[in-house]
Structure 1
């Protein structure tokens, strides 16, 4: 099923979805999540390879929401749900790792987390983000990475009502203050920014595969 269950589309399906599946010209797709469940979807409109358009879209959205792909990062993929695990413990560990990397100025670790699809705006018990911590410590390279590469929100308030700029001002990190002020002037907040980006990527992948 994994290697040839989707006709000539099997290779791309294995790469993008990463789950065993079998399609039929009736518009049905049987999808298996090993050791978890199997499911069937039926939607007759077919693509040029004989697979269901909406069936493939469903499979892609499933693995974009849940941590089921064979090659998903099981440690750092905080934006995906894993119903096989207790969510609280995993989330707490990722928050600790993220904020400790920001505290210690470890840009390499932060880059690794970002590439693993970790949510770089996660908060601790005081509602402080990695940008709060980096600004308070004066780690300008970390601040640059978070605002330039990750485009994090600079207006998030902690439980005392402070934003990252307030922390930089309080601890007199003038370079960080200037950097954050410039970023705030140009920052455009988006509602559901992660979801919009994921949806655009999903559509792009689907168009390239069909």
Structure 2
């Protein structure tokens, strides 16, 4: 297996600047904010809501590529979203799932409580069972790069399950602080407003 930070670093070198990237709570957000600081990021969404929010954005902005960097602990809190993604079939959505098979392991020196994926649950199989045809599992950088490039250049939805090490051993010892959630929300919405030419934020709320 490979580490989360290694794959996020690879993602940061591939994803175009105009692609909207949403990251789940924990080191997905902390590491991504350090690797790719930009207005097109929406960080540390509520547990279970990363892929759901990405789905909503992909439907609202059908001509914009959307990438959700989710995790096993987050996604298993809201598995029903996979069925909704399959039924809505947004062509512009890619889910990158960092599956480290435990809760809180990214914040400790030893793995936390196992998630269901540490046992028999296979989230690639779940995604396919829900109707997401383009679903795969990767365990190395080369395959991740190949699958990601295909996803970003073809119609989705795509689901890439990355089996990563239980602990984040090679990332920064202290992740760069990501913006305050309220600040990040207005920055992100303002960026969409600016680049899409639509009004999201009212006067005095950062809309420019």
Tell me if TM exceeds 0.5: no
Q: Which has the higher strand share?
A: 2
Which structure is higher in helix share? 1
Structure-2-length-normalised TM-score: 0.31
